[in-house]
A and B are shown apart, each in its own frame.
Chain A
Amino acid sequence: MDLLKASFKDIAGAVQGKKVSAREVTKFFFDRAEKLDPKLNSYIQLNDKALDEASSLDARIVKGENVGPLAGVPFGIKDMFCTKGLKTTAGSKILANFVPPYDSTVVERLKKSGVTIIGKLNQDEFAMGSSNETSAFGAVKNPWNTDCVPGGSSGGSAAAQASRLCAGTVGTDTGGSIRQPASFCGIVGVKPTYGRISRYGIVAYASSLDQAGPMVSTVEDAALSLEVMCGHDERDATTSQRQVPRFSQNLKEDLKGLKIGLMKEYMTGSGLHADVQKTVQAAIDTVKARGAEIVEVSVPLTEYAVPMYYLIAASECSSNLARYDGVKYGHRAQFESLGGVDLEDFYKKTRGEGFGKEVKRRIMLGTYCLSSGYYDAYYNKACQVRRLMRNQYDDAFKKCDIILSPVTTSPAFRLGDRISDPLAMYLNDIFTVSTNLAGLPGMSVPFGMSADGLPIGVQLTAHHFEEQKMLNAGFALEQSSSVKAKVPHVY
């Protein structure tokens, strides 16, 4: 079995069938990560118990136990997910030494389905960033071109997955943090409907937008991962009670009868990179050829999606990050002498040292938006427009099943290019944030390559809880993708 190309089904079948041990599979990816990752910096930490955990999985298999649908599939986990006994930093100095005494629900479910954990993946600090350059543990490099960013905030997940430093990864997506890096690195990234996957144990950035999802090599692997990750969790009041479909068993590439919408607002923009435009056009031709009908739809309020997003996300984060105060866990400021030091000094020094620049910027922005006298003009107004935009999406999905669009305006940009210009960086999210604001499922499927040899994804968005339709469209595109099964050479 070529583990670089093996699907989850291949690995799980072989491990459960004792054709290969979980330990061997884990060791293959672990060694690969250990050897190659210094070039990419996609891991914050490798799990030094990974092999032991794989061995105990093997022991259970020997005893005749069925260890789950992802038996022995080694995953890298974005460092936003709490992992019991394994440091969880959220890419921040303020949590640099935080070891959670609990697993996030996602990690718990992955483990229960037989996954082994190779390590924790790098990311923008608290998932605030679109290039993985805000991480307190250094930037991640794009494996297709190490001068380029892998995207963000789940940049470590995308880079590690693209270069197969693990078999699968999970990321989180608040405004595009799964889909944009998936596009930049040429992998499949899915953000399901808000409420599909429990947020319990995922370090919170913006609670009404955060959603976890798989970042993997194929649509089938994504579908299989979703089956394991999705579903009601009594520890997260916002999770849906809905039944989770057997996504992976219902995949089909025939798109007859499916209406694919092209959103006026996303197709007519002039700032679109020629290679991106070409890729999207090729995707439209492909879905047409596979029987889908193309219709035009419009969601006019997406024009305000980026400002809406930054008002709401910043407001929520200003509250969510208040708990990092140095009192209970995480970084705590040290003082040479406590003479004259009061509580406020303690907070200021702790948080001043612990948070990076971008995080501080968003906390300040959010604190301002929620302040008395500004609340109505900013936070509340953004929430009102958000509801209206959601209604417009409801109307659009009366006319179509899926909206097809670019993921970003351009392929991966160069490291350092945008980090000093926050507004330019924020505009990266122009095609992805409205999906989060409306709570819709969205995914990026790798489809084209730029003239410079960088992968380009296509974004598919569906109505609430219509992941199956979206995965099917992705599956159809995947069959004609020029990125499929390509692994960048990392030396």
Chain B
Amino acid sequence: MSTKGYEAVIGLEIHAQLKTNSKMFCSDSTKFDAADNENTSPVSVGMPGTLPVVNKTAIEFSVKTGLALGCEIRRKSVFSRKNYFYPDLPKGYQISQYDEPLCEHGKITFKVDDVEKTVSITRAHMEEDAGKSNHFGEYTLINYNRSGIPLLEIVSGPDMRSAAEAAQYARTVRQVLRYLDVCDGNLEEGSLRCDCNVSVRKVGAEKFGTKVEIKNINSFRFVEKAIDFEIDRQIDAVERGEKILQETRLWDPDKNRTFSMRTKEDAQDYRYFPDPDLLPVILTGEQIEKFRQELPELPLARQQRFMTEHALPLYDAEVLTTERELADYFEETAKISGNSKAASNWIMTELLRELKNAEKSIVDSPIKPAALGKMVALIEKGTISGKMGKTVFQEMWASGQDPEEIVKAKGLVQITDTSAIEKIIDEVIAANPQQTADYRGGRVKLFGFFVGAVMKASKGQANPETVNQLLTKKLQG
């Protein structure tokens, strides 16, 4: 995408909090809703003499993410100290990885407006999170619950050219993390954080422009907005002949703009050096292979399978695989329903609409996949009509009741018995001699009137297909 002959160059640094039970370097709990400073210990508040010990699950999660992102996994990676002073950084340094990160040289492919895009993953390295400073005018309180939570920092190449691409890249990474079940991926709660590096240059130029880092973005929508704002701001500045400052800017969602936090002049020298308290992380080929074997089916593969195994169209397969939980929901529903496409239709139209209106996620759906599957099966068997299905669905959504019970309680059983339907049709024809004569005289449009009358007389329970067939035959006389 280019504006006024410029193109944007965008790279993302995604910080993913790993869903381990304990912290990166000590046994503190990582429970989200703990009271202030409840999840702390002498280690996580940096008391004298305390030492870090690596959480093996965090390594496993990181390796798996690296593999899923097509990275090479280093057999030997090293933890380093990143030194800087800040009150919520209890040791005065953050344990991170510097020149020997765990994962490198990966790539990820996704679609933006139906065009395939591949973005390189420069590296993904492990580190610990800092605490959280809460400022109250004259004073600041620090909550160290977050201090030491394992993070995986996923750094992309400068490969994106539009805000839409960047946002879609971030969504795709999030999707992978959630499929692996290694990160909640919640931008609002901060379990996923997205820093965007943005620069602009003239189309065709080889050199990158000066990059600006945008932080504090807590939704994908804001990723797009912030980058778009920044691209415009930079192009305007260059057009005016101004120099772009290398700086960190924050996104202000209320004012829809970015503003400067600090410039390169205050840039810190982090004095990285290998942490002498920790041994290098050594992984054998067998260990890496074992992690690879344990990888779950990833979104693209699952999408493909939905198309072959369930004969779904591409669109359905894409929508249903956006979230692992949704894909799971679909597969369970499809299995019970006996008709995958019908299951897909019910989920994609009725269920997703209701969930969206109720602002609920698929896991919180009042209709469980087994129940929805049963309902679709009832339609399949002809026990109820598709129209009755909608009534049943609404009832299931409201009460969470079993579809068969609803059908029974409401007397919603469909009449498929031909003789019973024939009897109703005869009665309707007898009661409407004029319309019958007109129909037979050529006013075929009246067919709808007869269907309506039959359905009404059967209290909506007659199988519409049977009604159509029999009525056609009977009206012909």
Residue of B nearest to A81 (CB): B49
Measured between alpha carbons, how far is A81 from B50 in the docked complex, in Å? Answer: 11
Q: Is the CB of A327 within 8 A of B87?
A: yes
Least Cβ–Cβ distance between A13 and chain B, in angstroms: 33
Q: Given known contacts A199-B49, A329-B47, is B269 in contact with A322 (CB within 8 Å)? A: no
CB distance from B13 to the nearest CB of A (A): 20
Q: How far is the CA of A316 from the CA of B51 in the complex (A)?
A: 14
Shortest Cβ gap from A29 to chain B (Å): 26
Nearest B residue (CB) for A322: B92
> What A residues does B209 contact at CB under 8 A?
none
Please tell me if B54 contacts chain A, counting CB pairs below 8 Å: yes
* Interface presence of A450 (CB below 8 A): no
User: Smallest CB–CB gap between A153 and chain B, Å?
Assistant: 15
A237 near B277 with CB under 8 A, answer yes
Q: How far is the CA of A338 from the CA of B137 in the complex (A)?
A: 12
B279 at interface, CB cutoff 8 A: yes
What is the minimal beta-carbon distance from B55 to any residue of chain A, in angstroms?
11
Q: A379 at interface (Cβ–Cβ under 8 A)? A: yes
Candidate in B51, B85, B142 with the most chain A CB atoms within 10 angstroms: B51
B273's partner among A101, A104, A234, A379 (CB-CB below 8 A) is A379
- Nearest-neighbour CB distance to chain A for B83, whole angstroms, equals 5
Binary interface profile of B, 268-300, with partner A (CB < 8 Å = 1, else 0)? 010111001111000000000000000000000
Minimum C-beta distance from A242 to chain B (A): 15
Of chain A, the residue at the smallest CB distance from B54 is A237
Known: A208-B276, A237-B279, A370-B273. A95 touches B90 (CB 8 A): no
Mask of A319-349 contacts with B, CB within 8 angstroms, 1/0 = 1011101011100000000100001000100
A338 and B85 CA atoms in complex are apart in Å by: 20
Q: Does B442 contact A (CB under 8 A)?
A: no
A322 interface neighbour in B45, B93, B273, B278, Cβ under 8 Å: B93
Contacts of B70 in A (CB 8 A): none
Q: Which residues from B are CB-within-8-Å of A101?
A: 42, 47
Determine if A323 and B91 form an interchain contact, defined as CB atoms under 8 angstroms apart: yes
Q: Tell me whether A207 and B54 are in contact in the complex, defined as CB-CB below 8 angstroms, given that A201-B49, A319-B92, A325-B85 are known contacts.
A: no
From B42, B52, B83, give the contact of A319 (CB < 8 A): B83
Residue of B nearest to A198 (CB): B51
Give the interface residue-count category, chain B. Answer: 20 to 34
User: How distant is the Cα of A110 from the Cα of B42 in the complex, in angstroms?
Assistant: 21
Residues on the B chain within 8 Å of A235, using CB: 51, 53
Kindly list chain B residues whose C-beta atoms are within 8 Å of the C-beta of A323.
46, 48, 90-92
Alpha-carbon distance A111/B42, docked complex (angstroms): 20
B138 at interface by CB-CB < 8 Å: yes
Tell me which of B52, B142, B276 has the highest count of chain A C-beta atoms within 10 A of its own C-beta: B276
- Are B52 and A237 in touch, CB under 8 angstroms? yes
Complex CA–CA separation, A318 to B85 (angstroms): 12
Chain A residues in 8 Å Cβ range of B23: none
- Residues from chain A with a CB closer than 8 A to the CB of B51 are 199-200, 235-237
Q: Is residue B64 contacting chain A, with contact meaning CB distance below 8 A?
A: no
- Tell whether A95 pairs with B48 under 8 Å between CB atoms, given A237-B54, A322-B92: yes
**Chain B CB within 8 A of A204 CB:** yes
Chain B's nearest CB lies how many Å from the CB of A125?
Answer: 13
Interface string of A185-204 (1 = CB under 8 A from B): 00000000000000111111
Q: A323-B91, A370-B273 given as contacts; is B83 within 8 A of A203 (CB)?
A: no
Of the candidates A90, A206, A321, A328, the one whose C-beta lies within 8 Å of that of B45 is: A328
- Cβ of A26 within 8 Å of any chain B Cβ, yes or no, is no
Which chain A residues border B93 with CB–CB below 8 Å? 319, 322
Cβ–Cβ < 8 Å partners of B279 in chain A: 237-238
Q: Which of A86-115 contact B (CB under 8 A)?
A: 88, 90, 95, 98, 100-102, 104
Do B92 and A104 have beta carbons less than 8 Å apart?
no
Residue in contact with B271 in the complex, picked from A88, A206, A325, A367, CB distance below 8 Å: A367
| Interface residue A432 (Cβ < 8 Å from any Cβ of B) | no
A315: CB under 8 A from chain B?
yes
B193 sits at the interface (CB 8 A): no
Alpha-carbon separation in the docked complex, A101 to B40 (Å):
13
CB pair A98 B46 closer than 8 Å: no
**Which chain A residues in 112-144 approach chain B with CB under 8 Å?**
none
B215, CB-defined interface residue at 8 Å:
no
Contact mask B38-80 → A, CB, 8 Å, 1/0?
A: 0000100111111111100000000000000000000000000
Name the residue on B nearest A210 (C-beta): B276
Q: Measured between alpha carbons, how far is A319 from B277 in the docked complex, in Å?
A: 12
| Cα distance A319–B83 in the bound complex, in angstroms | 7
Q: Does A249 contact B (CB under 8 A)?
A: no
Whether B269 lies near A237 (C-beta < 8 A) is: no
B126 to A: closest C-beta gap in Å: 15
Across-interface contacts of B324 in A (CB, < 8 A): none
**CB contact list, A55-101 vs B, under 8 A:** 80-82, 88, 90, 95, 98, 100-101
Give the chain A neighbours of B90 by CB distance below 8 A.
323, 327-328
Contact status B142-A204, CB under 8 Å? no
A104 touches B49 (CB 8 A): yes
Tell me whether B85 and A375 are in contact (CB under 8 A). no
Residues from chain B with a CB closer than 8 A to the CB of A238 are 276-279
B81 within 8 A of A: yes
| Known contacts A199-B51, A338-B138, A372-B271; A343 and B87 CB within 8 A of each other | yes
Question: Contact at A322–B83, with CB atoms within 8 Å?
Answer: yes
Q: Is the CB of B81 within 8 A of A319?
A: yes
Q: Does A371 contact B (CB under 8 A)?
A: yes
* In the complex with contacts A234-B53, A322-B83, A322-B92, A328-B273 CB distance below 8 A: no
Tell me whether A207 and B277 are in contact (CB under 8 A): yes
Chain B residues near A237 (CB-CB < 8 A):
51-54, 277-279
CB-nearest residue of chain B relative to A95? B48
* Complex: A347 Cα to B85 Cα, angstroms: 9
Shortest Cβ distance from B365 into chain A, in angstroms? 43
Q: Please pick, from B49, B85, B87, the residue contacting A202 in the complex, using a CB distance under 8 A.
A: B49
Contact (Cβ within 8 A) B273 A375: yes
- Measured in the bound complex, the distance between the Cα atoms of B90 and A208 in whole Å is 21
Instruction: Tell me, rounded to whole Å, the shortest Cβ–Cβ distance linking B468 to chain A.
Output: 75
Residues 83 to 120 of chain B near chain A (Cβ within 8 Å): 83, 85, 87, 90-93
Q: Is the CB–CB distance between A203 and B49 below 8 Å?
A: yes
User: Of all chain B residues, which has the CB nearest A90?
Assistant: B48
List the A residue with the shortest CB-CB distance to B53. A237
Q: How far is the CA of A90 from the CA of B49 in the complex (A)?
A: 10
Closest to B88 in A: A327
User: A204 near B49 (CB under 8 angstroms)?
Assistant: yes
Chain B residues with CB under 8 A of A321: 92
- B159 → A minimal CB distance (Å): 27
Chain A residues closer than 8 Å to B83, beta-carbon distance: 318-319, 322, 370
Q: Which residues of A contact B269 (CB under 8 A)?
A: 371-372
Q: Could you give, for residues 206-250 of chain A, a 1 whenever the CB lies within 8 Å of some chain B CB and a 0 otherwise?
A: 111000000000000000000000000011111000000000000
Q: List 15 A-B contacts (CB under 8 A).
A: A88-B48, A100-B42, A202-B49, A204-B277, A236-B53, A237-B278, A238-B276, A318-B83, A323-B90, A323-B92, A327-B90, A328-B90, A338-B138, A347-B85, A370-B271
Chain B residues near A (Cβ < 8 Å): 42, 45-54, 81, 83, 85, 87, 90-93, 138, 142, 269, 271-273, 276-279
List 3 A-B pairs, minimum CB-CB distance, nearest first. A322-B92, A208-B276, A370-B271
Given A202-B49, A238-B277, 12 other A-B residues pairs in contact with their CB atoms under 8 A: A88-B48, A90-B48, A100-B49, A203-B48, A237-B54, A318-B271, A319-B83, A319-B273, A323-B90, A327-B87, A328-B90, A329-B47
